[in-house]
Amino acid sequence: MITVQNYIISITYFEGIAEDELTHIIDNTLLRTFSAGEMIFLEGEPVDGLWIVERGNVKIFKLNPDGGEHILHLCGPGKTFNDIGALDGRNNPASAAALSSEVLVWLVPSEKIKYVLTHNPQVALNVIQLLADRVRSLVGQIEDLALYSVIVRLARFLLKQAEDPSLSGPGVTRTAIAAHINTTPQTISNVLHTLKETGAIQFDRHRIIIVNERILRSIAML
pLDDT for the residue 153: 95
Domain 4-134 homologous superfamily, CATH: Jelly Rolls (2.60.120.10)
Give the separation between CA 196 and CA 209, rounded to whole angstroms: 10
| DSSP 8-state assignment for residue 3 | -
- Write the DSSP string, 191-222: HHHHHHHHTSEEEETTEEEES-HHHHHHHTT-
3-state helix, strand, coil in the chain (%, to 5): 50, 20, 30
pLDDT for the residue 2: 55
Give the separation between CA 151 and CA 188, rounded to whole angstroms: 9
User: Where do the structural domains in the chain lie, given as residue ranges?
Assistant: 4-134, 148-219
pLDDT for the residue 1: 45
Give the separation between CA 181 and CA 195, rounded to whole angstroms: 16
Are the folds of 4-134 and 148-219 the same? no
Smallest CA-to-CA distance from 82 within 99, 59, 64, 116 is with 59
Domain 148-219 has CATH 1.10.10.10: yes
Low-confidence residues of the chain: pLDDT under 70: 1-3
Q: Quick check: 153 and 188 in contact, CB under 8 A?
A: no
* Gyration radius from the chain CA atoms: 18
Q: Is 98 helix (H, G, I), strand (E, B) or coil?
A: strand
pLDDT for the residue 27: 87
Torsion of CA 35, 37, 40, 42, to 10 degrees: -170
Q: pTM of the full predicted structure?
A: 0.83
Non-local (6+) Cβ contacts of 219 within 8 A are: 151, 152, 155, 195, 198, 200
Q: Is 81 helix (H, G, I), strand (E, B) or coil?
A: strand
